[in-house]
Chains A and B, each alone.
Chain A
Amino acid sequence: MNPQIFHPFVLPFVVGMAFVLTYCVVGLVRVIWQLPKADRKKFWRSLVTPKTAWANIRDLIGDCLFHVKIWKRNPLLGYMHTAIAFGWFMIIVIGHVMLFALKPLQGVELEGIQGMLPNFYYPIFYKFFATETPIFAFLMDFFLLMIISGILIAVVKKLHSKIVGVKRVTKFGFADNMIRFALWTIFPFRLLAEKTGLMAFWWIYSIDLCIFMFMLPFTRYMHIPTEALFILLRHAGIKATEPRKGYALAELYSCPSCGLCIDACPMSVNDKMSGNTSAYFMKKLRNKDSEEAKRIAETCLMCGKCVRVCPVSIESCDIKFSQRAATPYYINSDHSYLDKVEAPKPAKTLYFAGCMTQLTPKIMRAMKQIMEAAGEEYQFMDENGGVCCGRPMLLSGKTAEAQAMIAKNTELIRQSGATRLVLSCPICYKVFKEEYHLDGIEILHHTQFIDALVKQGKLKVGKSGVNYVYHDPCELGRAFGVYDEPRAVLESVGNLKKAKSEKELSICCGGSLGSFTLTQKERDEITENSVADLMFNHPDEIVTACPLCLKTFARKSPVEVKDIAEVVAAQLG
């Protein structure tokens, strides 16, 4: 064969590439095959719907190539990843452009081999075979050096992660460590090969690539091809329903184990508990370590912070839900008692305190005072006890049981003829917003309700000199973005101080019902960390809007902890 256009050193790479491509095609078919029929239909439709098609293009470029979400969280890590991934992408692109642009210039006789490999021959690593023009030489060198600069940051991150602003990094097993080493050495070898021209380096370069390709499907680097598919599925509006199938499978393989969720997780207060974070959950589930995956799924607080910081937007909480639901219960619930629950009297505004608020009667008292002061006509739906909203049942994966309670509460609310439902507990708020079908009824958390009353002038409040810090409950803040209303209310009754981590980065109080297995001691550690974060600017009082956060913080806070309703009730003019 013409030595000008073929050299056997390319073979290891070609074999590796063929393997990866085959694996990806099989995986793609498998994921799409495993999707429920309705979801598959949604998926095909989303590809041709202009709105989702545009979102696909935007995120494929923004997330896969430029890693915008990592830049937003940590610019240095953003550069690191972009340098390596985008740099590599550009080297491949320029290589191909060169092939087409320079072919006539160099006069390489491709015809010489057409008899042997008709239509299949494609000269990869063209740089080896042809001398290029200065502009291509510059571009190739530029991107190669960009990649190597990214790798240098990665090495620093491996040695001292704190330098790049990361406290805890993901602990990897043998395969992940080995492929990382392969990745890091690919590009220095390419540079050496180009600059020295030694055949040995070209061979090492190709073999290195081959090792990388063969290990890729079995390691975290599988996120490179899978993320593209995942973006398309995500925009189609599909959700995970089974822990290791279809959409969830695409999510599992899209997780790069980057570990950004580890520092974000409220459980990362010590080394042992940081093993409960989503990065490890995804890894265990992918590796079919179902015992560990089940353990982590049941330990998780379900605060949703990992989902918020995830640069790939993986809904790990949904997978944990499906993992919980996959564990069978041998006892089913008996709902015959539901008939005994009394219906509330007719009213336009209905107040549902919820189980947790029943445990913190001061919130109920404050709400009564506020409604009376505002002249609001209302009925108290569960003054003498009520049916649980159903969220705790859902959290334990018992969907059918939860639906029975949801149906009963819906019936009670409809019977009252209410047009507005006010809730004091964000746990209830989440399930009422997401699972109940209460069309025509406005569902408000009391922070929103009080804010509206103050703004409408129905509620007159005086301003005190107290410095408050506001804790965003997970199920109100991160879940529904209710950040401004409580802050507006607090600013009208006192001074608002900032916490160290606020809004979507707020740290779970540690009391979350989401976790089944955390011990009181472990929860206390989480609470202490969360309180320290709130006390950052030395407030006089901690204010929250969730009865469970209130009870949890009260155990560990050096200052008084109050619900926003209490604070407002004390300032009624």
Chain B
Amino acid sequence: MMDSLDLTTFNRLKESNPDVNTCIACGSCTATCTAGNFTEMSFRRLLLMLQRGKEDEAKKMIQRCMLCGKCTLVCPRGINIRKILLDITR
């Protein structure tokens, strides 16, 4: 089952942003998210989607992001979340 997952995006992301591996899934990013206030946007869940190969769902979620950068600011692991989001969309 796991072998059939399409992890292209996540693997590409891991290469350009090795930081993603240090995520502790604490949810601080989600709690502070400006878009999360009105929508289902959640970076923590987005990362999970990519790890599960649900690329389409993840890309749909990113459309909600306002790029305000609060998630990056509060991340206890210092992960540059905004850059990761931009990297996925390019």
Chain A residues with a Cβ under 8 A of chain B? 327-334, 337-338, 340-341, 355-356, 358-359, 384-388, 392-393, 395-396, 398, 405, 511, 513, 516-521, 548, 551
Contact = CB atoms under 8 A, between A and B. Distances in A.
Interface in B66-90: 66-70, 73-74, 78, 80, 82-83, 86, 88-90
Interface in B36-90: 37-39, 59-60, 62-70, 73-74, 78, 80, 82-83, 86, 88-90
A340 B41 CA distance: 14
A398 B65 CA distance: 12
Nearest to A396: B67
Contacts of B66: 333, 355, 387-388, 392-393, 405
B89 A329 contact: yes
A359 B70 contact: yes
A333 B89 CA distance: 10
Given A331-B89, A355-B68, A388-B66, 12 more contacts: A329-B90, A333-B63, A333-B64, A359-B70, A384-B37, A392-B68, A392-B82, A405-B66, A513-B68, A518-B80, A519-B80, A520-B80
A387 B68 CA distance: 10
Contacts of A331: 59, 62-63, 88-89
Contacts of A517: 80, 83
Identify whether the interface residues of A are mostly helix, strand, loop, or mixed.
loop
B34 A355 contact: yes
B58 to A, nearest CB: 10
A519 B22 CA distance: 14
Contacts of A395: 67
Given A328-B90, A359-B73, A548-B73, A393 B38 contact: no
A387 B64 CA distance: 11
A384 B34 CA distance: 10
Contacts of A337: 35, 38-39, 64
A165 B67 CA distance: 40
Contacts of A332: 63
Contacts of B64: 333-334, 337
Interface in B10-44: 32, 34-35, 37-39
28 contacts: A327-B90, A328-B90, A331-B59, A331-B88, A331-B89, A332-B63, A334-B64, A355-B66, A355-B70, A356-B68, A358-B70, A359-B32, A359-B70, A385-B34, A387-B66, A388-B35, A388-B66, A392-B67, A392-B69, A392-B82, A393-B67, A396-B67, A396-B86, A511-B73, A513-B69, A513-B82, A516-B80, A517-B83
